[in-house]
Each structure stands twice: as structure tokens, then as C-alpha cells.
Structure 1
């Protein structure tokens, strides 16, 4: 057998404000290999590696946010070095706090899964016949109870649920059964232990204050800043939106690598404070909520959602403050209602959501 040849494998890290970065790994006996910084804020290094699996991390002096006596927050670069996992790592070893990279045929790979039904001519239902079911994977595990809202390693599959190959097999079998797969994507915040925040929070997050201080109950961790960040001439030479780039890379990764069919983007704060949304009925005792949304082009084109979050069934329930009289058609149903007053009386099943649509024309 011919000897295996090593290939040049590139490692990168976007850290425009960091002064020095070294790559450490099992391939270097955990000795630091200095990386080179480029004008676009990226640190890059090519390492000669044979096929196999390797552990690695970045060694750097991170930037942290410190609060001064006057209450003002400022970014400060630490004097001591810290080893941080690659924010783009697709596999991690949490016990060692390292990322894991697999090389095969001279290239980085995620796994070796072979899609069974990718080329199968599946007759999926038309979009007009779409019915969406929400499935929480944690309900099918014995010990996992996290909803996944506090994310640390965005590109990694939670090991409690299985491997990347397990997820691909799940999607593959769903497609074979004419079921499309839509992921719930948390794009508004991260966990404080997220590598992006541990390296330097300033390019990615609102770091000097809570973005919406008037709603502290909605602050679940560092919030991504999707606004424009001006590049400093002495550090990096172009204007960038690091959070937008990272999230775009992330969503593209799951679509292309796992063949999912869609994404449900979740950004709670922005959705609740939409100019086109009005919560007109909130019954906290019975846990019933009703809100309306309308078109920016025609305010008379409205959708009303009535949601019963409780486990109770209500007969003859009254929804008050209904302000548009006329014919309302039930979405995903064949019935309609005629509202002639400022309230509506209907039956609500446990955990039921009903959607009505009013069209002026």
C-alpha cells in the first residue's frame, strides 16, 4: 500500500480585534502554531494533515467586557491566554474544551453518511396543502429536557439526541415518506459560554447595554447585533456585519449539509413589537390570547389568531375587544363567522389555536 500523503488543511478564525492567535491541537502536541492575520479580520493557517480525526482549539488573549465604577462598560483585552473552541466547529469534545475535525481524502468532512433517497422522485404535497406539526425531539429522550434556546456551539448536533449521521438519516426517511423537515432556528441570542462571546463579543453582540432594557424578562443571553458595524482603518479594511455573516453561514450549512426544507426563524423581541401586530385580548387566568396582524399595504386585510395555551376546554368562550365587523373565514378550515359586535363567542379545545382571516376585497 502506498504511503498516505498529507494535505494542506486551512483553519480560520474571524477575530479582527485580537492581537495574536495560535492554533493548538493533537497534530502539534498541543504546542501553539502562530496564525496570520489578514486585512479582512480573518486569521488563517494551513496545516499539513493526513486523513484522520484531530482535536484542536485556538489560543488567544480574549476581549472581555468590564464594567467601570461610573457604570460604563468597556471592552478590555486580557493579558492571560485562553483556549477557545472554534465557533464553526461541527463536533466538539466538551470534557476537553476542544473542537474535533475529521479529514478524509485530503478534505474536511462532517461524516460519511450516504443519502438513500436523495435522487428519489418524491411527490411532495403542494404548498397550498401544507400542514405543519411541531415535534420536540426532547420528548423522545429520557434525560434531555433542554429546549435548545441557550446555544453554545451552533454548528454542532446535540449529542444527547444522536450524531450528525442520525439526523441525516431522520431527514432522509422523512423525505422518503413525503414529509418535509423545517428547523426552528434561534437567531436572536446565544449562551454566555458561546465561543463568539468568549473570544470577543464586540463584533457580534450588543455588549455595552441590553438591547431592549424596557423588557428585561426577554433577555436570555447575549443578543446578536445585526446592525452595521463600522470597520476601523487600523484594524480591518472593510465594513462588515459579522453577526449576519455568521448566521448566514449557519443557516446555509444546515440547508446544504442536512438537506432540510425550510427554517422557522425565531426573533421574539422583534416579532412582539411589530408595528403590524396588536394583542387585543389577554386572559391570563384562563391562558387565552388573541392577537391580530395586518398588511402594510392594506390595513383592512387582517389575520386574527386565538390561542388557548391551557389544558382546559372552554365552551362559549367570549373574546372581547374585536373591532372589525364582517365575515371572517377560518384558515385551515371550511367554516366562517360573521362578527357583528365587539366580541366573539366560540368553543376552544385544550391547546388549540384558531386562525381567522378577513379580506376587505
Structure 2
């Protein structure tokens, strides 16, 4: 049975367009232009899979005026890789992506303040174990590992279709198409569904500042959707490709064209794949805050009633991007990594910087969900790859890594782990190059011990309201001994104290001003204060984590 299927292409400034496809033996079908700026053609088609492209008289300045060019559909949800052609799937006379049926939409998911995020670059996470497999199927096989670790949110680095040379995917060619080589859309949905079943949220890395040079919109009418030149010519180091012009307003159609397109992109991914949050790349370069507020609201509308997290990557940091009057729920906090690394990687002990990293309110952040803290990310080396760790004695390096883990997991804010950080991955930052996880490291005791250490801390974080609160108080600031003590609490029922020794000296019989009875998280040993004084033994480069007893 045939159904009338509409093909349309938004190109208000272009003079003519036609449709070509396997259904016409690749002969041109004239498209009619409406007052709304769309070219349209209606074709009677049976259910099945079809391949097609558009031909259009371009308005882009890098071609001759009105030159005919072939372009893929900017809204295509699938690209055939060999010939780079748009793919359309029809079932029961409707356009579909796949036939997956969601199973766990009613599952209760953790709130934003409860999250421990795991940043994942899919091919590198898979390593050599899924070279020729559907990588989403491999991710499914690793869910037990991630559940054992205890994380409850996964942030996927870009999954959009992009040229192979952009390994990380931060230069997008097709904004609604899943990247070829990662796997099927059905398996991605199954992975997200199974994550939800296990109480794990999944975030999308959103690239809305720029695109790759062969993106269809560029070929159709560059200056309608993009700035003609660099948006920030004084900052060429942070120019990654043609930048969307969110200031351009079409008076005739009364729309912001770039808003319309990227809004459609966000709604598609959230509705089609049930993502639970978005990390917005390069927000400082994107700059249009009115648009960003609108886009975040559109994402939450698309998500419905479930929890959603809009996260900004804004470097260098600005506080007013988050909170009640900000455009985002939270932002990446690069200063946590900078100050943390300074104080765990060498001889530096700067109390003000450590306190500022642990308590973001000192710098004006409103609460725990307003910052995402991390020690490593895709843009920054793993701790074990930092020079101070590479050149240190191995035993000392792991002590410093565990000290950093305590700070990360007990600081005010939402912690994020870069994949492999939990077992001491040793590779360096390699932009757009393969950097596969060495899963074999888990077979070596120091790496396995670090993994177990992170497990304990993550479990503590998930089960102690104190660490998920905004409350933090410093009760010990000893510059001479290089000790910092702080208390996290939530009411009377939940208290967690940390006593961190940043020095290379063992401290025996060390007194801190802390009342009550406590249990050492790692040893299980109970200690009790005498009056308001608690006496502790603290090893070098160690942070004691003490859980309050009733």
C-alpha cells in the first residue's frame, strides 16, 4: 500500500530546489516553494527504506551565485556512510527511526543533587573489545561494571554523525543523525532504557556553537544560519568551525532561524532517545543568553516530568550562568581541578584555594547542583598522566590519587569521573585521537584498590544526605601541618567529617575540634571525642572520612 509522503526543505532565500532519490531512479522531482520558506514535494511510497538527496540553487558565498549543489537533508536522522546519502524509513505510512519499544519509562531516577556523573567517549571506553561490534551493545555488557562502581549518570561525548577525522565528534555534520560506526539507534535506546532500569541517567553532549564545514545548512545558505566571519576574531584559538548566528532574525517569517533548527535538534534527541540532561559545549563562545535560556526550557519541556539537568561548559567560569537567575542548572568547574591538582600533586598547600574548591559558595555559586566538579575530563589528562604523578613513586602516586578522590566525592557539588579515572588510567590527553581504556589495569592490585576505594566513596555519597547538601564547615585549618578538616551535614541525622593530611608526614595523636562518635569509612573503626576534641592518627597524603554515629 502506498502513502503520500512529504519531503520538505527550509530554504527561504533560495530560488529553486528539487528532490532526487532511489524512488525516482535519481531523476529530479521539482519542489514547490511556499510562503513559509519551505520547498515541498509529495511522493507516493510503500513502507520500506529509501535514499534521497536535495538539489538546490545555493546562496552560500563559497559557490557561484545560484549554483546548483547537491545536499543531504539537514533533518536526516540517518546517513548511509558509503555514499553519504540521507536515509528514510517508512512503516505504516509514517517516518520512523526504528521500532524500539521503551520498557522502563516509569522507573524513578535520581535527582540532580544525588548524581555521580561518568564521562564516556564511546569508542575509547569500548577499547579493543568492540572493534567491529555494535558499540552500544558492548556498553550494555559493561553496565554491570558501572553499577558495581556505583555511578548513576553517564555523560556521552558527541554521538552525532561527523567525519572520521573528528574522532571526538565535536565538529558535527548531521545534527540529527547517529554516528555511523557506533551502532544502531535501537541499541542506543536499549542501552538508555537499561540504564534507566538500573537508576542511571544518561546525558547528551550538545554541540550548538558550531558545525563542520560540509554541514548541509552551510551549503544551502551560509549567512542565513551562521556568522559570515568568526564571532570572536580576537580569540582564534577557540574557533572550531562555522558558528551559528543566534542574533539573526528573519523579519518576513518572524523567526530566528538558528533558534528554530537547534531547538528542533534538542527536542528530537530528548524525545526520541529519552536523554535526561544535556552538557552544552562552548557556551562562552555561543554567548546568546536569551537563546540559551529558551533552549534549556525547551529541553525540559521535551523531557516531561522526569528530572533533567542543563549543564554548561563555560571556561573561564562565570557564576551568574547558573542559579535562579542563570540560564543553566549547573556548570563544569575547571577551577576545582586546577586548585585540587595544585594541592594533591606536589608540595603546594594553599588553604584558600582548597577551601574555595570544596565550598563553591565561597565564590558565589548558589548550591550543590550549580557546579560539576572533576579532576580529569576529555580535555584534561587523567591524574596518573600528570607529570607529578608519572614521576612520583608509584605508591605515593596512588596515595595522592586517593586523596584527590576523597576531595572530589565529599566536596559541595556534583562529582564527575572521566572514564578510567576510577582505576588509575595512565594515558594522556590526545584530542581527536584514539585513547582507548586499558581494561587490563584492573588486574593489577594498585589499580584494583583504587577502583574499590572509589566504590566506597560513591556508595557513601549516594547514601549520606550530608554530602548531597549545600552544607560545609571547616573545623581545622592547620597550615604548618598541612591539614584541613571539614564537616558536611544534613540535619542531625547525617554528618560526614573529613580530615585531610596533605603533607608527607604521618600525624599521630593529632587533635581536631570535633565532637561526637564517628566511624572510619575505610577501616570501620569507631572513635569518640573527649569533650570537643577528637584525637586521630592520620597517615601521610591521607584523608580520613568519618561518618557520624547516632
2:221 is aligned, of 159, 184, 200, to: 200
**Structure 2 vs 1, CA of residues 132 and 38 (structure 1 numbering), >3 Å: closer, same or farther?**
same
> Contact conserved, 1:291 with 1:306, CA < 8 A, in 2?
no
**Structure 2 vs 1, CA of residues 156 and 296 (structure 1 numbering), >3 Å: closer, same or farther?**
closer
1:100 maps to 2:87? yes
> Contact conserved, 1:180 with 1:260, CA < 8 A, in 2?
yes
**Structure 2 vs 1, CA of residues 273 and 125 (structure 1 numbering), >3 Å: closer, same or farther?**
closer
Kindly report which structure 2 residues correspond to 1:32-51, keeping only aligned pairs within 5 A, or say none: 32-51=28-47
2:187 aligns with 166
Kindly report which structure 2 residues correspond to 1:258-297, keeping only aligned pairs within 5 A, or say none: 258-270=273-285, 293=319
TM-score by length of 1: 0.74
Q: Which moved more, 1:11-20 or 1:134-143?
A: 134-143
**Structure 2 vs 1, CA of residues 264 and 290 (structure 1 numbering), >3 Å: closer, same or farther?**
closer
**Structure 2 vs 1, CA of residues 181 and 48 (structure 1 numbering), >3 Å: closer, same or farther?**
same
1:345 deviates by: 9.0
1:184 deviates by: 1.2
1:77 aligns with 65
Gaps of 5+ in 1: 67-74, 232-236, 275-288, 350-361
Q: Which moved more, 1:128-137 or 1:307-316?
A: 307-316
Report SS of the residue matched to 1:181: strand
2:56 aligns with 60
Report SS of the residue matched to 1:210: coil
1:307 maps to 2:444? no
Report SS of the residue matched to 2:49: strand
Kindly report which structure 2 residues correspond to 1:187-226, keeping only aligned pairs within 5 A, or say none: 187-207=208-228, 209-226=229-246
**Structure 2 vs 1, CA of residues 293 and 52 (structure 1 numbering), >3 Å: closer, same or farther?**
same
- C-alpha separation in 2, matches of 1:146 and 1:7: 40
Report SS of the residue matched to 2:231: coil
2:97 aligns with 110
1:336 is aligned, of 473, 477, 497, to: 473
Report SS of the residue matched to 1:175: helix
- C-alpha separation in 1, matches of 2:476 and 2:238: 35
- C-alpha separation in 2, matches of 1:122 and 1:239: 41
Deviations 1:172-197 (A, max 9, x none): 00000011111110110000011111
1:42 deviates by: 0.8
Higher helix share: 2
- C-alpha separation in 2, matches of 1:339 and 1:44: 70
Deviations 1:287-344 (A, max 9, x none): xx9966258999xxxx98421497972354337799x9x995941447534899xxx9
Gaps of 5+ in 2: 132-163, 290-314, 326-330, 368-410, 414-466, 485-499, 503-550
Deviations 1:113-161 (A, max 9, x none): 122223xx42323333233222221323447871110000111111221
1:23 maps to 2:19? yes
- C-alpha separation in 2, matches of 1:206 and 1:113: 39
1:96 deviates by: 1.8
Report SS of the residue matched to 1:23: strand
Higher strand share: 1
Report SS of the residue matched to 2:86: strand
**Structure 2 vs 1, CA of residues 11 and 135 (structure 1 numbering), >3 Å: closer, same or farther?**
same
1:50 deviates by: 0.5
1:89 maps to 2:76? yes
1:180 is aligned, of 201, 204, 219, to: 201
1:126 is aligned, of 111, 125, 128, to: 111
- C-alpha separation in 1, matches of 2:185 and 2:324: 43
1:317 aligns with 349
> Contact conserved, 2:102 with 2:193, CA < 8 A, in 1?
yes
1:40 deviates by: 1.4
Report SS of the residue matched to 1:306: helix
Q: Which moved more, 1:12-21 or 1:222-231?
A: 222-231
2:377 aligns with none
RMSD over aligned Cα, in angstroms? 3.6
1:348 deviates by: 11
**Structure 2 vs 1, CA of residues 331 and 108 (structure 1 numbering), >3 Å: closer, same or farther?**
same
**Structure 2 vs 1, CA of residues 129 and 193 (structure 1 numbering), >3 Å: closer, same or farther?**
same
1:6 aligns with 2
